[in-house]
Structure 1
Amino acid sequence: MTTFEQLGITAHVLKSIQELGFVQPMPIQEKVIPMLLDTHEDLIGLAQTGTGKTAAFGLPIIQQTDIDTRSPQALILAPTRELCQQIAGDLKNFAKYSADLHVVAVYGGADMGRQIRSLQQGAHVIVATPGRMNDLLNKQRIVQLDDVRTVVLDEADEMLNMGFKEELDAILEQTPESKRTLLFSATMPKEVLQISKQYMRSPKQIAAGHVNAGAEDVEHILYVVPSKQRYLALKRVIDFYPEIYGIIFCRTRTETQDIANKLIQDGYNADALHGELSQAQRESIMHKFRVKNLQLLVATDVAARGLDVKDLTHVINYNLPDENAVYTHRSGRTGRAGKKGVSIAIVNLKEKYRIKQLENQLRKTFTQKPIPSGDDVCEKQLMSLVDRLETIEVDHKEIDRFLPAVSEKLEWLSREDLIKHFVSLEFNRFLDYYRDAEDLKMSKEELGAEKRESRKKRSRQDDGERRERGERRDRGERRERGERGERRERGKQRDRDHDQEGTNRRAEEGFSRFHINLGFKDSLTPRDLMGLLNRCTRKKHIEIGRIDLMKTFSFFEVDQNYTNTILSALEGVEFNGKEVSVQLADDGSSSRR
Structure 2
Amino acid sequence: MSNFKKHSFSEKTMAFLDANNFTELTLIQDASVDSIIAGKDLIAVADTGTGKTHAFLIPLMEKINSDEARTQAIITAPTRELAYQIYDFALVMKEVDPQLTIELVIGGTDRNRMSDRLVKNPHIVIGTPGRIKDMFVDEAVLRADLADIIIVDEADMTFEFGFLNDVDQIISRMKKDVQVAVYSATILKEMSTFLDKYLEQPNTIRIKKSEAFSPNIDHHLISTKHLKYEETLYNLLQTINPYVCVIFCKTREEVDKTFDYLRSKNLKTLKISGGQSSRERIRSLKDLKSQEYTYIVATDIAARGLDIDGITHVVSLGLPSDLNFYTHRAGRTGRSNRHGTSYVIYDKVDVSSIFSLKNRGIHFEFKQIRNNEIVDAKSIFSERKDNYNEDKEIAKVLYRKNAKVKPGYKKKRKQEIDRIKQKRRREMIRKSIKEQQVERGKASQAEKRGK
Same-fold call, TM > 0.5? yes
Alignment of 1:249-328 (within 5 A): 249-266=248-265, 268-305=267-304, 307-328=306-327
For the Cα contact (< 8 Å) 2:160–2:429, is it kept in 1?
A: no
- Do the aligned partners of residues 51 and 535 (structure 1) sit closer, same or farther apart at CA in structure 2, a change above 3 Å counting? closer
Q: Deviations for 1:93-143, whole angstroms, at most 9, x for unmatched residues? A: 135333522222211111222222222122121111111101112221212
Alignment partner, residue 19 of structure 2: 19
Q: In structure 2, what residue type is equivalent to 1:538?
A: R
Alignment partner, residue 413 of structure 1: none
Q: CA deviation at 1:271?
A: 4.5
Q: Deviations for 1:542-577, whole angstroms, at most 9, x for unmatched residues? A: 669xxxxxxxxxxxxx98969xxxxxxxxxxxxxxx
Alignment partner, residue 525 of structure 1: none
Q: Does 1:366 align with 2:362?
A: yes
Q: In structure 2, what residue type is equivalent to 1:105?
A: L
- Do the aligned partners of residues 560 and 187 (structure 1) sit closer, same or farther apart at CA in structure 2, a change above 3 Å counting? closer
Partner of 2:366: helix, strand, or coil? coil
CA distance in 2, matches of 1:90, 1:24: 17
Q: CA deviation at 1:216?
A: 5.2
CA distance in 2, matches of 1:326, 1:170: 31
CA distance in 2, matches of 1:283, 1:560: 16
For the Cα contact (< 8 Å) 2:244–2:295, is it kept in 1?
A: yes
Partner of 1:241: helix, strand, or coil? coil
For the Cα contact (< 8 Å) 1:264–1:271, is it kept in 2?
A: no
- Do the aligned partners of residues 194 and 268 (structure 1) sit closer, same or farther apart at CA in structure 2, a change above 3 Å counting? farther
CA distance in 2, matches of 1:193, 1:342: 37
CA distance in 2, matches of 1:216, 1:262: 32
Partner of 1:369: helix, strand, or coil? strand
Q: CA deviation at 1:164?
A: 1.0
- Do the aligned partners of residues 291 and 537 (structure 1) sit closer, same or farther apart at CA in structure 2, a change above 3 Å counting? closer
CA distance in 2, matches of 1:215, 1:95: 38
Q: CA deviation at 1:286?
A: 4.0
Q: Which has the higher contact order (CA 8 A, sep 6+)?
A: 2
Unaligned runs of 5+ in 1: 360-364, 381-437, 463-530, 545-557, 563-593
Deviates more, 1:309-318 or 1:90-99: 90-99
Alignment partner, residue 102 of structure 1: 101
Q: CA deviation at 1:439?
A: 7.8
Q: CA deviation at 1:18?
A: 1.2
Alignment partner, residue 225 of structure 1: 223
For the Cα contact (< 8 Å) 1:45–1:207, is it kept in 2?
A: yes
CA distance in 2, matches of 1:146, 1:331: 41
For the Cα contact (< 8 Å) 1:236–1:371, is it kept in 2?
A: no
For the Cα contact (< 8 Å) 1:222–1:366, is it kept in 2?
A: no
Alignment partner, residue 355 of structure 1: 357
CA distance in 2, matches of 1:288, 1:138: 34
Q: In structure 2, what residue type is equivalent to 1:10?
A: S
CA distance in 2, matches of 1:185, 1:153: 8
Alignment partner, residue 28 of structure 2: 28
CA distance in 2, matches of 1:217, 1:131: 40
CA distance in 2, matches of 1:537, 1:352: 18
Alignment partner, residue 6 of structure 2: 6
Aligned residues: 406
For the Cα contact (< 8 Å) 2:102–2:124, is it kept in 1?
A: yes
For the Cα contact (< 8 Å) 1:13–1:98, is it kept in 2?
A: no
CA distance in 2, matches of 1:75, 1:127: 6
Partner of 1:198: helix, strand, or coil? helix
Unaligned runs of 5+ in 2: 397-418, 439-451
Q: CA deviation at 1:168?
A: 1.7
Q: In structure 1, what residue type is equivalent to 2:26?
A: M
TM-score, normalisation: structure 2: 0.77
Q: In structure 2, what residue type is equivalent to 1:262?
A: Y
Q: Deviations for 1:527-549, whole angstroms, at most 9, x for unmatched residues? A: xxxx99x93891326669xxxxx
CA distance in 2, matches of 1:171, 1:20: 31
For the Cα contact (< 8 Å) 1:225–1:442, is it kept in 2?
A: no
Q: In structure 2, what residue type is equivalent to 1:540?
A: M
CA distance in 2, matches of 1:338, 1:234: 27
- Do the aligned partners of residues 337 and 126 (structure 1) sit closer, same or farther apart at CA in structure 2, a change above 3 Å counting? farther
For the Cα contact (< 8 Å) 1:271–1:285, is it kept in 2?
A: yes
Q: CA deviation at 1:221?
A: 0.8
Q: In structure 2, what residue type is equivalent to 1:242?
A: N
Partner of 1:96: helix, strand, or coil? helix
Q: CA deviation at 1:311?
A: 1.2
CA distance in 2, matches of 1:560, 1:49: 23
CA distance in 2, matches of 1:188, 1:130: 18
Alignment partner, residue 142 of structure 1: 141
Q: CA deviation at 1:162?
A: 2.1
Deviates more, 1:101-110 or 1:262-271: 262-271
Identity of aligned residues (%): 26
Could you say which structure has the higher helix fraction?
Answer: 1
For the Cα contact (< 8 Å) 1:240–1:372, is it kept in 2?
A: no
CA distance in 1, matches of 2:380, 2:150: 56
Alignment of 1:400-479 (within 5 A): 441=378
Alignment of 1:120-159 (within 5 A): 120-159=119-158
Q: Deviations for 1:365-402, whole angstroms, at most 9, x for unmatched residues? A: 52311214425x44x8xxxxxxxxxxxxxxxxxxxxxx
Q: In structure 2, what residue type is equivalent to 1:369?
A: E
Q: Deviations for 1:283-316, whole angstroms, at most 9, x for unmatched residues? A: 4444444434432122112332454322121222
